[in-house]
Structure 1
């Protein structure tokens, strides 16, 4: 038989869970959500430091910890609107074992998820989110919220209507991203060899910074946008629609980027950023 425990939180409070937590589901509107994975697999801990309006319902059942407003179900989450009439606001911090599966849904709230090695699913109606040091598979879907991913090494899937995607030191095996009007900016770590990257946007701009030497087969195009290319081994062709094609290094990775009206840029990551820090010899002009 399953065992279920439930709490209703209407004021700042802290809960610690001695039972194992294998999965976390957070659904909030307003405020902030902060999820941190602990590599030592220690006990889970929930802190609600601020709450205004409707109480949060916390449940624990068969290894799954849920922190949510009752009127925000996970199914169909992205169809919710950021309704100003809702009395919802909470600042929530959760610590769980790094291997836990994490699901976070936010409406009009910001979210930070860090140190998780299990799968992470993020859904956001509005409000920006940050993903830091995730090594498991990541799926992020937003309506208008932007996503910043720092040091994410797991496969990343991103879908948005108007939200932007920014990836810093990306070292994952694959990135699949599509958006209607959001911009996409990727800065790839030198360890991201053989990565499969596919980006598609209608009116957003795409900028990708690759390590030098890079290792990928490149096919990038824009219908009406401008083009910038920093690699001599790649060829820019076309008069109306423009294309950047060619092979960098052994071509073990794949880079495919498409935008209809946005600009397209392939940039070179300076070599000095990949070497150990030392005295700078760069001359700076005034």
Structure 2
């Protein structure tokens, strides 16, 4: 298949007849929306654009929407502020099985319904991921990442961006941040989990399904506080370093959380058949005993 290229300098819609299995988007300021569909082809709408044109290229099954001067390699080191005088609102519908790569500088990104691998790189734009079942890799400088109802393995790295996982079912989460906070609400439904979180000064909060959580737990903070809502786990340390250790379920999985000065909280997520998550509401498991140091 011959390569097709469009230079888009004003609002425009494009439909691609040839099959698409890989998407690469790189923009500065504005918004990127990517949604997975059951169709084999892709559709693009650029509803607003200011500054230099976006170059749209279809090369075989790969669709690229990007600025010529914004390469994927070394993306997080792109700080040419003179070139930041641009803005675009880009929406794409691609086959759900596609591999998706999104790079944003000062732009927000929303990716939903993708079953293929998703990679996000952001300098200072926030990203929302919804209903992704493929593996996820996200690298940011100061951008925040919110993931809702994701089931694929998640790897997150940031300097100061926060990580929030809501109603997640991923059994593998690796997150590393300097000062960003991490809040994870996970339902692994008895499957062994592999969760490893590291931060220097960020706070870490993890909410696990009870009683089906299955992991060996080791959570440590050098100077922060710890909070534990699981009777099977032990809290140790009165002054300085504190830790939460023990085994949940059969202990087939791993939960490790480490922070230097941030606090750590392990919370119980009632099983779905227990009804409302309000600990004092009807059908609840009753008040949760929580030890805080």
Q: Same fold (TM over 0.5)?
A: yes
Does the residue aligned with 1:243 lie in a helix, a strand or coil? strand
Please give the residue correspondences for 1:115-154 in structure 2 after superposition, counting only pairs within 5 Å: 115-154=113-152
Equivalent-residue separation in structure 2 for 1:90 and 1:217 (angstroms):
46
Aligned length: 279
Per the alignment, residue 244 of structure 2 pairs with 244
Equivalent-residue separation in structure 2 for 1:75 and 1:85 (angstroms):
17
Equivalent-residue separation in structure 1 for 2:190 and 2:26 (angstroms):
33
Q: Which of residues 90, 94, 101 in structure 2 aligns to 1:96?
A: 94
Please give the residue correspondences for 1:48-127 in structure 2 after superposition, counting only pairs within 5 Å: 48-81=46-79, 83=81, 86-127=84-125
Per the alignment, residue 281 of structure 1 pairs with 282
Contact 1:185/1:206 (8 A) holds in 2: yes
Alpha-carbon offset, residue 41 of structure 1: 3.1
Per the alignment, residue 26 of structure 2 pairs with 27
Equivalent-residue separation in structure 1 for 2:126 and 2:46 (angstroms):
20
Contact 2:39/2:94 (8 A) holds in 1: yes
Equivalent-residue separation in structure 1 for 2:207 and 2:233 (angstroms):
14
Matched, 1:264 2:244: no
Q: CA offsets per residue over residues 124-177 of structure 1, 9 Å max, x none?
A: 001110011111111000000000001110110000000000001111120000
Runs of 4 or more, structure 1, over 4 Å off, are: 273-277
Unaligned runs of 5+ in 1: none
Per the alignment, residue 17 of structure 1 pairs with 16
Per the alignment, residue 215 of structure 2 pairs with 216
Equivalent-residue separation in structure 2 for 1:224 and 1:103 (angstroms):
38
Contact 1:151/1:171 (8 A) holds in 2: yes
Contact 1:12/1:51 (8 A) holds in 2: yes
TM-score scaled to structure 2, two decimals?
A: 0.91
Alpha-carbon offset, residue 62 of structure 1: 1.2
Alpha-carbon offset, residue 198 of structure 1: 0.2
